[in-house]
Amino acid sequence: FAALRATDPEIAEVVLGELDRLRGGLQLIASENLTSPAVLAALGSTLSNKYAEGYPGHRYYGGCEQVDRAEELAVSRAKELFGAEHANAQPHSGASANLAAYAAFLQPGDRVLAMDLRQGGHLTHGSRVNFSGKWFQSVSYTVRHDTELIDYDQVRDLALGYEPRMIIAGATAYPRLVDFAAFREIADEVGAVLMVDAAHFVGLVAGGAIPSPVPHADVVTFTTHKVLRGPRGGMILCRSEHARAVDKAVFPFVQGGPQMHTVAAKAVALREAARPEYAAYARQVVANARALADALAGHGLRPVSGGTDTHLALLDLRALDVTGAEAETRCELARITLNKNLVPYDPRTPGTASGIRVGTPCATTQGMAEPEMAVVARLVARAVRADHTTGAGERELAAVAAEVAELVAEHPAYPRTS
């Protein structure tokens, strides 16, 4: 860090400022986590220098003996941890992994059935502003009005009606378990490929806290930077029969040279995730999310679907007459970072939204458990109700911020000793 400070004090200030932000506030973004010093060390290593187009043993560049080892470790650890026949560790991101999965199994114009973006699906699941909606014909399934759970009858009807070439299970803002066996059955009925986008919950699968999609899916894509607590990036798991198609789709179809420092950091995160401490962490992430959702319900914030089975909860704020955007701003002023989110059948736009999404990966990494979740819920509920455009609201948000500071001082992100 001394070298960075000497060469570029402005960027050094940004890096320190971000560390202060992480240490000084409560991080409730469901898709974020706090990587270990070991993961950060691999990311900040000389492996960043190396060009390594191709795969271990078959590169288009010399000098790959060390990075080959890193990639082989990432691949073998992923296969072992998830019980997968094949793994590809090169996707730069979740979106790249998804593009590669489409490319491995589909032709432009093919039909894809996936979850509606407005109800929790991801941009890469058929949005018109994304390759998935522009180059493929996308059909969306939704959640039921009454239960706010995936409507499997509707998924089946749509599959029978549209005969999609691929069905995608997995989402960005769905708090409940996905029934992978049901999706498999529907996919088999119509002869579709089943892709599971496990970006959000793969870390819970790694820790054995929720069931795995791997035995059911033809292909599983995921990001390594959410609950899994690795570097920003993506990975793909598949059966051996699809290995060649998937590898060719990642390189050379979607990407050029892999980022070998990131691949090495993925290997580190996968090693960490195979430890018993990580399994305990994954279980606590879910226990914390449940405790947080229940406590927020007690404060009048309605958890969509009544609660959660995962690391995240979606809270509907309509009864409080507060928008998601207002809630996000108010929480930010109280040093609580979370995001506004559409709730199912939300009449508002995504920029305003009627809900917020909260997640427990970061807080759990910081050692918080159920008692702290009760405190977090109380602070979030107070912040959401404090009208930041009034003096009284500003004072209330400052008071909440002071309590947040006390809480995170007891459970610091990146403790100063490390």
Q: Which is nearer to ligand PLP, 56 or 230 (CB)?
A: 230
Which residues are annotated as part of the binding site? 117, 121-123, 241
Residue 101 is encoded by which pair of tokens? 């999965």
Q: Interface with ligand PLP by CB under 6 A: which range of 93-101, 177-185, 236-244, 309-317?
A: 93-101
The span from the CA of 94 to the CA of 97, in Å, is 5
DSSP secondary-structure letter at 251? I
Q: Interface with ligand PLP by CB under 6 A: which range of 82-90, 168-176, 236-244, 389-397?
A: 168-176
Among 59, 77, 86, 200, binds ligand PLP (CB under 6 A): 200
**CA torsion through residues 120, 122, 128, 129, sign:** positive
Which residues are annotated as part of the binding site for (6S)-5,6,7,8-tetrahydrofolate? 117, 121-123, 241
Q: Is 31 in the site for ligand PLP (CB under 6 A)?
A: yes
**What backbone phi and psi angles, to 5 degrees, belong to 393?**
-65, -45
Sort strands 54-55 and 86-88 into parallel, antiparallel or unpaired.
unpaired
The residue sitting closest to ligand PLP, measured at its beta carbon, is 94
For residues 4 and 11, the answer to whether their CB atoms sit within 8 Å is yes
The span from the CA of 335 to the CA of 347, in Å, is 28
CB-count burial class (<10 Å; 0-12, 13-18, 19+) for 3: exposed
Active site residue 61: no
Amino acid at 373: M
Question: C-beta of 405: minimal distance to ligand PLP in Å?
Answer: 29
Amino acid at 140: S
Active site residue 232: yes
Question: C-beta of 6: minimal distance to ligand PLP in Å?
Answer: 32
The span from the CA of 100 to the CA of 249, in Å, is 5
CB-count burial class (<10 Å; 0-12, 13-18, 19+) for 241: exposed
Q: Interface with ligand PLP by CB under 6 A: which range of 5-13, 80-88, 131-139, 165-173?
A: 165-173
Question: C-beta of 370: minimal distance to ligand PLP in Å?
Answer: 26
Q: Interface with ligand PLP by CB under 6 A: which range of 16-24, 167-175, 235-243, 351-359?
A: 167-175
DSSP string for 153-179: HHHHHHHHHH--SEEEE--SS--S---
Active site residue 197: yes
Q: Is 90 in the site for ligand PLP (CB under 6 A)?
A: no
Annotated active-site residue in 232, 239, 248, 348: 232
Question: C-beta of 238: minimal distance to ligand PLP in Å?
Answer: 16
Interface of this chain with ligand PLP, residues 207 to 226, rule: CB under 6 A = 223
The span from the CA of 376 to the CA of 6, in Å, is 39
Site string for ligand PLP, 112-151 (x = CB under 6 A): ----------x-x---------------------------
Residue 181 is encoded by which pair of tokens? 């066996």
List of residues contacting ligand PLP (CB under 6 A):
31, 93-95, 98, 122, 124, 170-172, 197, 199-200, 223, 234
The catalytic residues are 51, 53, 197, 223, 226, 232
